[in-house]
Chain A
């Protein structure tokens, strides 16, 4: 049984379609990444999955049935705002969460917890606490919204370790993130743009065959100014430039016409570049 199956689900608000015939699945042991610009429909989709909103059309199967209150007790949800009480201590918060879910709280072992109220702890420790609170009842499906925002790289690796451990126990994880390097670590990705799925699959499937023009030059500042003025989608990459959705010959001739010496080559696109291009295409 799939843990989550969103089948051609749509949700309209008046004339606005926030979620438009979206398909998403999460299987046991899987970490699925949900990517989308703000307003892409991620929050509405999460509310549909949790049963807090009903789809206008299509269907959602959460743990084999409709997203009922009972099904929700087997879901863990970590919102971006953490959803914990910052004037409690870590132990009080975890005891409270345990009482709500009706399980025995195991003694908290959160590195960096000094017994002070959560509000006074470093963000990494607060995030660890929120993660422990969201997973204490051993949920079958875990929904994470930007779980590592603002955390240093080692702290992020530790949090991901917990996420992966959870998935390896045969649970599923659906995680929304703006970190492209983090998205690249998911087993599968679903990219949403203006309510629709514009790409889904493994990282390699999504970026396969997509190219970017890399520009090597001694004067990146001038090259940037020239390409930007020509309305090309240019980005800085170290002391080189990258231009998406452009033909290498267009880039080369634009630079040559302005007298900028540069070498242009086609290289594989990054996930971020593919994402931005897909979102722009959908907007156009």
Chain B
């Protein structure tokens, strides 16, 4: 059974936080909602979690008790220990004590939190607290796991651990949907939805998004034509669908290139003038 959105728009006041977004979410898929501040990632997750009503369009999701959610707030209760947080969530979710212990043991072992059972959640490092959040959100083996920027501000080592937990949940059949500002992280997902100002810039299998740009992206030591160039490292990227820029070398486009090109294309649409580089 697959879930997702059909032309979902969420309006706050006179402003569409999310505009006509469609997305199909299959069991075992890992989907990244990627974008900067104000892209609409959180709103989309809230709509999926039933916390905000779309003003139009349809949301298909399992019953709420089959959904796991990790918001951007510090997860769990800070004045409870790790073990107390787990017991509380297990009771709320109606897990049998036996099943709750089994799940908690397995998840804590996988996260390296086993040694911190008696520590207050408030006393965990940022990365450990996020891991606890994923454990709490997946304790009841939800069909869908929604995570709002689980890896933001988390260092690369802890990020790898969080990433492993998410892939592990997907490996067990859960559909994982998470928001991120890290494009390289989104590139590793089975599916990605790149958002900007509430609208979809690009979506689908990352490989398929990058594929059509092969042979069109160059790294140059000087900026290319306006609206087709942006800074990358000590040099510039140039996007040239036809022809080859002077003194430039073709590069294998990555998802970051693809998203920047989508933004440039959008900005080049009539009402706007591209201004880049």
Residue pair A152, B35 in contact (C-beta under 8 Å): yes
A123 at the interface (CB under 8 A from B): yes
Residues of B within 8 A of A158 (CB): 230-231, 276
CA of A37 to CA of B155 in the docked complex: distance in angstroms? 5
Cβ of B225 within 8 Å of any chain A Cβ, yes or no, is no
Interface status of A239 (Cβ within 8 A of chain B) = yes
Q: How far is the CA of A236 from the CA of B164 in the complex (A)?
A: 8
Size class of the contact patch on chain A: 35 or more
Q: Is A151 among interface residues, defined by CB-CB distance under 8 A?
A: yes
Contact with A along B160-175 (1 / 0, CB 8 A): 1001100110111100
- Closest-by-CB residue of B relative to A179 is B182
Given contacts A124-B37, A221-B173, A224-B167, contact A178 B153 (CB under 8 A): yes
Choose one: A40, A153, A157, A236; the contact of B188 (CB below 8 Å): A236
Give A275 to B155 CA distance when docked, in angstroms.
11
Interface bits B248-264 vs A (CB < 8 Å: 1, else 0): 00000010100110011
Number of interface residues of B (CB under 8 A): 54
Chain B residues positioned under 8 Å from A43 (CB to CB):
none
- In chain B, what residue has the closest Cβ to A160? B231
Interface 0/1 of A218-240, CB less than 8 Å to B: 00111011001000011111110
User: Are A154 and B171 CB-contacts (below 8 A) given A37-B158, A238-B188, A280-B157?
Assistant: no
Q: Mark A175-190, 1 if CB is under 8 A from B, else 0.
A: 0001111001111000
Q: Are B160 and A235 in contact (CB under 8 A)?
A: yes
B residues 238-277 near A (Cβ < 8 Å) are 254, 256, 259-260, 263-264, 275-277
Determine which of B127, B182, B187, B263 lies in contact with A38 in the assembled complex, contact meaning CB atoms within 8 Å: B127
With A and B bound together, what is the CA distance between A122 and B154 in angstroms?
A: 22
B181 contact from A149, A161, A225, Cβ within 8 A: A149
**Using a CB-CB cutoff of 8 Å, which residues 22-38 of chain A contact chain B?**
31, 35-38
Q: Which residues of A contact B183 (CB under 8 A)?
A: 153, 181
Given contacts A39-B125, A151-B37, A161-B277, A235 and B167 within 8 Å (CB-CB): yes
Inter-chain contacts of B154 with A (CB < 8 A): 38, 178
Interface: B38 (CB within 8 A): yes
Task: Decide: B155 and A38 in contact? CB cutoff 8 A.
Answer: yes
> Cα distance A49–B48 when bound, in Å?
47
- Take A38-B155, A221-B171, A279-B157 as given contacts and tell me if A238 and B190 are in contact as well, using a CB distance cutoff of 8 Å: yes
Q: Which residues of A contact B205 (CB under 8 A)?
A: 238
Known: A151-B36, A179-B184. Contact between A161 and B231, CB under 8 A?
Answer: yes
Partner of B263, one of A152, A160, A184: A152
Which residues on B sit within 8 Å (CB–CB) of A35? 156
Q: With an 8 A cutoff between CB atoms, is B62 at the interface?
A: no
Is B148 interfacial (CB 8 A cutoff)? no
List, sorted by A's number, 25 A–B pairs whose CB atoms are closer than 8 Å: A35-B156, A38-B155, A151-B36, A154-B230, A154-B263, A154-B276, A157-B230, A157-B260, A158-B230, A160-B231, A160-B232, A161-B230, A180-B156, A181-B183, A221-B171, A221-B172, A221-B173, A224-B171, A225-B172, A234-B164, A236-B167, A238-B205, A272-B184, A275-B156, A279-B156
Binding site for A on B (CB under 8 A): 28, 30, 35-39, 110, 125-127, 152-160, 163-164, 167-168, 170-173, 181-184, 187-190, 196, 205-207, 230-234, 254, 256, 259-260, 263-264, 275-277
Which 7 pairs, one residue from A and one from B, show the smallest C-beta to C-beta distance? A152-B36, A123-B37, A185-B233, A37-B155, A157-B230, A236-B167, A161-B231
